[in-house]
A and B are shown apart, each in its own frame.
Chain A
Amino acid sequence: MSVIDLLTRVDSICKKYDKYDVDRQKDANISGDDAFARLYAVVDADIEAALQKAEQASKEKGKASAVAINAEIRRTKSRLLEEVPKLQRLAIKKVKGLSSQEFAARNDLVLALPERIQAIPDGTPAAPKQTGGWTASASRPEIKFDSDGRFDDEYFQQTEESSRFRQEYEMRRMKQDQGLDVIAEGLDTLKNMASDMNEELDRQVPLMDEIDTKVDKASSDLKNTNVRLKDTVMQLRSSRNFCIDIVLLIIILGIAAYLYNVLKK
């Protein structure tokens, strides 16, 4: 037989037994008009995915990646919890082609959903019940604790990693404190210098004012003197006086030259 023959045969056999394929049926159902079924299927798929992720997280070696996955799971859980009220509303609606049994079953399914969602392990330790007693009480069988009541010494023992982490944290904090101390001292010195400068400047303000008045007085005196000098020089420079001065000077020089000549002989 050739490959093609094999393939056709397999195909026909699958088609014959298709009606026994549960998954296929479910998908077919979903593609119907039933909004509830659709939403429920989506939520279901999300829960499955979250459970798988939780398994992966428990297998994770590195703390950081485990923490990240747990955070993601928590986010998915809160989202799913939000969807639950929607589902409840849809569940109440009557849909044609649905038997009454199925209708009742739907309600129960919706009620069971929140517990299933909470049950997804996301790395947070289970909260203790208020009524005490570590064993699961009979009235609420759905509630599960992650560790099944095994609270022996090992549970509370710090792992190596966490103690190392804490040590590192303490060291870093000490270093920070030291650094802050140094900064504080530097700031103290700065503050002192700044206030000293402030006082010094305050001291100099009245001195500057004094200088200001004195210089003003001196400059006004100077201006006065300048004006008077200008007046005097103007008076002296009147051309009449000038000509007289020059003439007299020439006469004196003439007399001096004459005397000089006379004496030389």
Chain B
Amino acid sequence: MSTSDPNKLLTKADKLTKLSFTRWTADWKSATILYEQAANSFRLAKDYENAKTAYEKASKGQEMLSSPWDAAKHMESAAALAKELRNWREVADFYRRASELYIECGRPQPASDALAKGARALEDTVPEEAIQLYTDACTVLEEDEREQMAFDLYRAATNVYIKLEKYTDAAALMLKLGLAAEKSNAINSQCKAYLSAVIIYLYAHDFKQAEKCYNDCSQVDAFLSSDQNRCASKLLAAYTDGDVEEIKRVAQSSAVSHLDNVIIKLARKLPTGDVSGLKAETVEGEEILDENDLT
């Protein structure tokens, strides 16, 4: 029976579920079993299209049998097959559905895992969708007060943003990471997140923003007394002095090399653009101040 043609199983199961004249209620239990068998056989035969449909139907069957856990599991398998088929729209949909089912079970951790898997699958092809999935995953975790799991997700999402060159968004995500770290008392991660945010702003050649960001972060006591703070202040001082050598030296320092790989690459590429331009601006500002003092 289990080795019979999966297509036959599929049609049999369909017949069981389709409501017709002779059948008043759909027999989901046996249908689901048949669907699962068919899906497995399809997968072994590497017939991804059919396997995917079979898994979808199996998941629906489990839902009808009010076991959302199994339903979610089947949805995830369907999504993995959709990834093989490079059907990105479906991948996103399936993973979302799976995470919803997990939340129904009352298990937020697998829910966010499902979303993260989806995001990872879509990173290269549909990055905006991937970011959406990542942020949703982080929200799910935060609602359940498990921010610590969210660190990795934030970092991955920031990497995607940087690839897309959306630096303000990336820095904003870093600040959110800092917030999550503070709640879970992970001081080291928090300081690293703030330093990364400053570096991202500097890379985007947005010095004012970087300074503002640095000032905001200095309000936090934990950051103020950390290694990363010293590194950030050195970097900003080097920028105000327009000293390229100093910037390069700070970028090579150990505090920066402990950050994420993508951030390290950004730091090594500093300074972008004309640093002496910044220097002239700040010098003018000081002169004006002096005149005011004299009068």
A residues with a Cβ closer than 8 A to B are 185, 188-189, 192, 195-196, 198-199, 202-203, 206
Contact = CB atoms under 8 A, between A and B. Distances in A.
A192 B258 contact: yes
User: Is chain A's binding surface mostly helix, strand, loop or mixed?
Assistant: helix
B215 interface: no
B188 A189 contact: no
Contact of B227 (A185, A188, A196, A199): A188
B254 A189 contact: yes
Contacts of A185: 254
A207 to B, nearest CB: 9
A202 B148 contact: yes
A189 B188 CA distance: 13
A203 B146 CA distance: 9
A72 B111 CA distance: 83
B218 interface: no
B226 to A, nearest CB: 10
Nearest to B145: A206
A206 B184 CA distance: 12
A202 B254 contact: no
Category for how many chain B residues contact A: 10 to 19
B159 to A, nearest CB: 18
A203 B148 contact: yes
Nearest to B255: A188
Per DSSP, chain B at the interface is helix
Given A188-B227, A192-B188, A199 B254 contact: no
A196 B188 CA distance: 7
24 contacts: A185-B254, A188-B227, A188-B254, A188-B255, A188-B258, A189-B254, A189-B258, A192-B188, A192-B254, A192-B258, A195-B187, A195-B188, A196-B188, A198-B188, A199-B148, A199-B186, A199-B188, A202-B148, A202-B184, A202-B185, A202-B186, A203-B148, A203-B149, A203-B184
Nearest to A184: B254
Given A188-B258, A189-B254, 4 more contacts: A188-B227, A192-B254, A199-B189, A203-B149
A199 B147 CA distance: 12
B174 to A, nearest CB: 16
A177 B210 CA distance: 33
A206 B187 CA distance: 18
B116 to A, nearest CB: 15
A206 B146 CA distance: 9
Contacts of B148: 199, 202-203
A188 B228 CA distance: 11
Interface string B142-153: 000010110000
Interface in B85-130: none
Nearest to A188: B254
Nearest to B109: A207
Nearest to B189: A199
Question: Which of B146, B148, B184 counts the most chain A CB atoms within 10 A?
Answer: B148
Contacts of B189: 199
A132 to B, nearest CB: 45
